[in-house]
Structure 1
């Protein structure tokens, strides 16, 4: 994991929700989804109004997310601000509602 020192935090996770956890609670729309590779929190990307994936990082310190919907399979480390290679791709708990 070139440029990232947080590989030990990556886990195989089960998505906690079928869409952005906070947007579903608030009745808000999202653009793309990201999943926390430490705990399985599903949050919306920074192009979404809520920016809940980034908010989850700031709240918990969990550094690595995966591009979750559409299935993208890439990883990102918020701390080191670099893409990371993930050992696997998280299986979706679909169907995931589409809002955009």
Structure 2
């Protein structure tokens, strides 16, 4: 069951920066699912993807909250507390996202 955490104050309504994993698109790499940073709008791939770019973004920036973004999954995750969290809203997708799996 989703929980709250002390980092939920960092959740923002964001505009996704790319239509797919930003780093994978730049290097032509495949991904499985996408995760959206709810602090800045970075789109990265999940940990089942070869690049694990969403987690890399967390380590580089310290932005702790992601949203399961593609497909829209309706959940949030806090990397610091390692728990599922309730999100105040779900981010709409900007258009068709390329499928790479």
Match of 2:84 in 1: 83
Match of 2:35 in 1: 34
Q: Which runs of 4+ in 1 moved over 6 A?
A: none
The secondary structure found in structure 2 opposite 1:6 is helix
Normalising by structure 1, we get a TM-score of 0.97
1:62-88, CA deviations, whole angstroms, 9 ceiling, x for partnerless residues?
000000000101000000000000000
Q: CA deviation at 1:3?
A: 5.3
Answer with 2-11 or 80-89: which moved more: 2-11
Q: CA deviation at 1:47?
A: 0.1
Gaps of 5+ in 2: none
Number of residues paired by the alignment? 100
Q: What is the CA–CA distance in structure 2 between the aligned matches of 1:46 and 1:85, rounded to whole Å?
A: 21
Normalising by structure 2, we get a TM-score of 0.96
